[in-house]
């Protein structure tokens, strides 16, 4: 089996330079002829991802009953690499704006935060009702400002501008997203866009969100921006005039709408909401003893259910 694993990763490396056709769903196992290799079997191979949490799909579900059948969730202890809780963590789900964690990861990994980007009409060419910032066509903004807008306010126009700046065009950037997903072992993920607005072929799993969130958290620029309650900055318009903009976090723990369990501190956060994905939240937190955890809840029908179940999940991090 060890030889097969080596071949699998060599194949992944060979494909890392290709541009993928994102018009259809990507199937890692079919591409590699590895039908028998489940994510769990790969994790538990000797020498493979020894610093990652290996877990079956469901763990300790008797300790916490989520309110809705469609919810999926996990709580992983990042110090001991233990799965504290898991429910359907390998099931296919829609990530909504949690997608922007990958966009942010590529931005901080390959972009220059000091670069100035001029907003274009294509950055705002989104479906009706899509969340956008108060930026306008012709505005000059830095990559750092775009990163903050995308992570604090979940601005879809900021995600589009980042994709254009880092990838040269959106299609190339999406290929980069899928390549990065492969390199992280995200075997249940396929991206179609940099923002997470719904597409049937844009999907992931709760376990893959953990992999992506943990990889992004290694970059201080990501954790700093994604844990902010609000963001205020100055932008230069097409007319050369400056104006101040202010956005608040879409995380309703950070904005004070909901209360965290005692002793829990948010170190990084990303929300996501679409009709198809439901309300979703991915967090890196520390408990009162400074032990780090990743917590993910997806598929809640309301914010009350999302934050109620996330609160119960985070309570397990304190042993309550």
Q: Cβ contacts of residue 49 below 8 Å, gap of 6+?
A: 42, 43, 185
Q: Cβ contacts of residue 140 below 8 Å, gap of 6+?
A: 116, 117, 118, 119, 235, 236, 237
pLDDT recorded at residue 41: 43
| Known catalytic residue at 97 | yes
Strands of the sheet containing 116-118, edge to edge, are: 116-118, 140-142, 230-236, 242-248
Mean pLDDT by 10 residues, the chain (320 residues): 39 35 35 39 43 92 96 97 97 98 98 97 93 96 98 98 98 98 97 97 98 97 98 96 97 97 97 98 96 98 98 88
Look up the CATH superfamily of 2-317: DD-peptidase/beta-lactamase superfamily (3.40.710.10)
* Selection from 12, 70, 75 nearest residue 213 by Cα: 75
Query: Dihedral (C-alpha) 97, 101, 104, 108: value to the nearest 10 degrees?
Result: 180
- Helix H or strand E encompassing 216: helix 206-217
pLDDT tens per residue, range 232-276: 999 999 999 999 999 999 999 999 999 999 999 999 999 999 999
Of 97, 133, 226, 279, which residue is the catalytic one?
97
pLDDT recorded at residue 318: 86
Q: Where are the domains of the chain?
A: 2-317
pLDDT recorded at residue 320: 53
Q: Cβ contacts of residue 197 below 8 Å, gap of 6+?
A: 126, 127, 130, 156, 274
Q: How many Å apart are CA 281 and CA 271, to the nearest integer? A: 5
Of 100, 205, 226, 312, which residue is the catalytic one?
100
| Known catalytic residue at 41 | no
Of 55, 57, 133, 154, which residue is the catalytic one?
154
| Known catalytic residue at 230 | no
- Pair of tokens at residue 188: 């249940």
- Pair of tokens at residue 148: 């903050």
Instruction: Annotate 104-128 with DSSP letters as a single string.
Output: HHHHHHHS-TT-EEE--GGGG---T
pLDDT tens per residue, range 20-67: 333 333 333 333 333 333 444 444 444 334 589 999 999 999 999 999
* Selection from 101, 268, 284, 302 nearest residue 196 by Cα: 101
């Amino acid at each position: 089996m060890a030889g097969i694993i080596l071949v699998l990763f060599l194949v992944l490396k060979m494909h890392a330079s290709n541009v993928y056709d994102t018009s259809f769903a990507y199937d890692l196992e079919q591409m590699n002829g590895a039908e028998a290799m489940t994510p769990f079997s790969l994790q538990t191979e000797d020498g493979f991802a020894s610093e990652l949490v290996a877990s079956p799909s469901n763990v300790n579900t008797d300790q916490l009953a989520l309110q809705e059948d469609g919810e999926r969730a996990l709580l992983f202890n990042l110090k001991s690499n233990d799965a504290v809780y898991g429910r359907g963590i390998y099931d296919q789900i829609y990530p909504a704006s949690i997608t922007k964690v990958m966009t942010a990861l590529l931005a901080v990994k390959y972009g220059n935060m000091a670069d100035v980007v001029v907003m274009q009409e294509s950055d705002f060419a989104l479906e009706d009702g899509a969340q956008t910032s108060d930026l306008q066509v012709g505005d000059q903004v830095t990559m750092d400002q775009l990163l903050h807008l995308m992570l604090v306010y979940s601005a879809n126009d900021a995600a589009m501008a980042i994709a254009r700046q880092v990838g040269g065009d959106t299609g190339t950037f999406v290929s980069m997203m899928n390549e990065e997903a492969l390199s992280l072992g995200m075997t249940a993920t396929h991206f179609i866009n940099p923002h997470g607005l719904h597409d049937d072929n844009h999907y992931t799993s709760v376990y893959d969100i953990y992999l992506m969130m943990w990889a992004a958290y290694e970059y201080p620029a990501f954790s700093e921006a994604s844990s902010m309650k609000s963001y205020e900055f100055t932008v230069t318009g097409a007319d050369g005039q400056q104006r101040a903009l202010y956005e608040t976090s879409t995380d309703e723990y950070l904005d004070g709408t909901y209360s965290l369990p005692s002793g829990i501190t948010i170190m990084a956060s990303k929300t996501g909401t679409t009709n198809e994905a439901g309300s979703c939240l991915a967090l890196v937190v520390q408990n009162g003893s400074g032990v780090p955890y990743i917590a993910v809840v997806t598929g809640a029908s309301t914010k009350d259910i999302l934050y109620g179940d996330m609160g119960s999940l985070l309570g397990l991090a304190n042993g309550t």
